[in-house]
Every structure is written in structure tokens, then in C-alpha cells.
Amino acid sequence: MRRPVIAGNWKMNPPTLDEAISLARAVAAVSAPLDGIDVVVCPPAVWLTAVAGELAGSGVAVGAQTMHHEERGAFTGETSPLMLAGLASYVILGHSERRQYDGETDEGVARKVASAVAHGLRPIAAVGERLDERRSGATEAVIDRQLRAAVSGLDTIAGSGLVIAYEPVWAIGTGEAAEPSDAQSVARQIRGILHERFGDDAGDVPIQYGGSVTADNAAAFLALPDVDGALVGGASLKPEQFAAILAAAAG
């Protein structure tokens, strides 16, 4: 049985250390009574140390929002996988905002996914289509291209901890979530590609839905046969809403 993975992507929030610690403490409190799910919070890099310290022993895992594939070097502003050791156990890679605003490419995401696995980090590899791609009927082709690239550097996914997040770009932060049937269709495609590439190990990979996930719609997505969690944006900054999403995942 795949365990649902609910990851809160805080993005460039909150603005102060005190708020970050307070939010981490609130997430730990609402997560404590729940079993059978993996809960992850992904704060900005500057708050990783403090949040990891606050969550130590709570059962809530910490994830980074990105990383460089190299261990060290002249890469101003970047964070290496070695720097994440002891702080994060997950790392989001290929998020659409990184692709859009920071020029991340399919090839770059592939290097990062392979590096994360090699360094014992669980990659949350994000794939998803833009609105113009959706309207032109290119969703399936985009998912195929991005996913095959993301896992191209892996010889096996057994023991890799790989997580795939389907995040339709047009639904992120817009309040317009995908229909559950659309999310299931893409999740089924993702699992089929992984099965073609890696065989039965594909059945062990959690697939998240991300894109305007709320307390009101989470249960519908989490009930889908190939959706095993959520990558949550804005609602992860509101403990009461995040708690409702966690409760839906816990069943």
C-alpha cells in the first residue's frame, strides 16, 4: 500500500523567522493525531535549519524547495544536496515556478532528480502543462516529455523514494483546480510511463496532485485510485486548512 504524501510548499513565505517557527509548530500539532500518511513541510531555504529543529521528533518531515545537482562549486545563490543533509529528507524539483521564472529545463531537472536520489533525498519531481498546452490538447505529450526526462538519470526507482507531483500550471494559485477525472487521467498516464520504464516498482511511487488544493476539494482528489497525496501551496500556510487536507488523506 502506498502511503499518501502531503507536502506543504511554503514558497517565499512566511517573511520572518518567528512566523516560520510558529507555522511549523502549528503543523506539528495538527499532524500529531493522524496515522498512515507522510506529512512534509517545505520552507524557504533560509528557514530550513530553524524549521528542522522545531520539527525534530514530531514525525513531520522537512523538504527543500529546490537544490543544485552539484555537491559544491561556484554557483552563487544555490543550495547543494550536501548542505541539505540532516535538514531535509525531501526536495521539490522541477516546480513549474522554477521552470517559468528561473529557466529550469527538463535536462536540468533530470540531473537534480538523479543527484537527490544519490544523496539519499526523496525527490518530489513536478510535471504539468500550461494553459495554452492544455487548450491545444498537448497535455499528454507534455507529461510524457517531462516525466521521461525527470527519471532519465535513474537506473531503478526501487528504494529511491521517488514522488511525482502532477501540477497543472494553469491551476496553481488561481483557485481553479483540475477536475478529479482529469487528475486521475494524468496520474494513470504517469503510472503507466513509470511501469513501462521500471516495471512493477512503479506501483510503489506516490503520485501527488497539486494545483489549488483546498480543504473543500482535497478529499475528491485523494479518493482517486492513482492519486496518493497532494502538493499544497497557499492552504499549507493556514494550519486549519492544512489540517483538513491531512484529515482527508488519513481517511
- The type of residue at 2 is R
**Catalytic annotation on 107?**
no
Summarize pLDDT for 212-224 with one digit per residue, the tens. 899 999 999 999 9
Q: What domains, with CATH codes, occur in the chain?
A: 5-250 (3.20.20.70)
The DSSP-derived string for 15-72 is: SSHHHHHHHHHHHHHHHTT--S-EEEEE--GGGHHHHHHHHTTSS-EEEES---SSSS
Q: What is the pLDDT of residue 175?
A: 78
Residue 147 pLDDT > 80: yes
Mean pLDDT of 118-131: 97
Mean pLDDT of 181-208: 97
**Catalytic annotation on 68?**
no
Confidence of residue 189 (pLDDT cuts 50, 70, 90): very high
Residue 1 pLDDT > 80: no
Q: What is the pLDDT of residue 170?
A: 87
> Could you tell me whether strands 122-127 and 163-166 are parallel, antiparallel, or unpaired per DSSP bridges?
parallel
- The type of residue at 34 is L
Summarize pLDDT for 77-115 with one digit per residue, the tens. 999 999 999 999 999 999 999 999 999 999 999 999 999
Mean per-residue pLDDT of the chain: 96
Mean pLDDT of 149-156: 98
Q: Choosing from 54, 97, 104, 167, which is the catalytic residue? A: 167
Q: Choosing from 68, 95, 129, 133, which is the catalytic residue? A: 95
